[in-house]
């Protein structure tokens, strides 16, 4: 089933991991990363996102400074 907001989501998605099948499908993206103890790309800055480190600990470490 295709998300009815897919094209709209893709316009604001900052994720650069192109092979991902969840790109633009925010529900699947969020649940996937949540299961992994992570956050989706959109929580991260451009520089942070490029590391592909989606861990919560990395997110927190970047905001402690």
Interface with ligand SF4 (CB under 6 A): 15, 17, 20, 22-23, 29, 32-33, 40-41
Distance between CA atoms of 45 and 49, rounded to whole angstroms? 6
| CB closer to ligand SF4 out of 32 and 58 | 32
Distance CA 24, CA 14 (A): 10
Q: Which two tokens stand for residue 47?
A: 């520089």
Minimum gap (Å) between residue 19 Cβ and ligand SF4:
8
To the nearest whole angstrom, how small is the minimum distance from the Cβ of residue 45 to ligand SF4? 14
* Phi and psi angles of residue 38, each rounded to the nearest 5 degrees, phi first: -130, 180
Nearer to ligand SF4, 33 or 65 (CB): 33
């Amino acid at each position: 089933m295709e998300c009815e907001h897919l094209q709209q989501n893709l316009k604001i998605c900052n994720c650069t991991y192109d092979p991902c099948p969840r790109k633009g499908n925010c529900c699947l993206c969020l649940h996937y990363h949540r299961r992994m103890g992570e956050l989706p790309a959109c929580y991260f800055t451009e520089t942070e996102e490029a590391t592909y480190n989606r861990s919560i600990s990395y997110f927190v470490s970047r905001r402690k400074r």
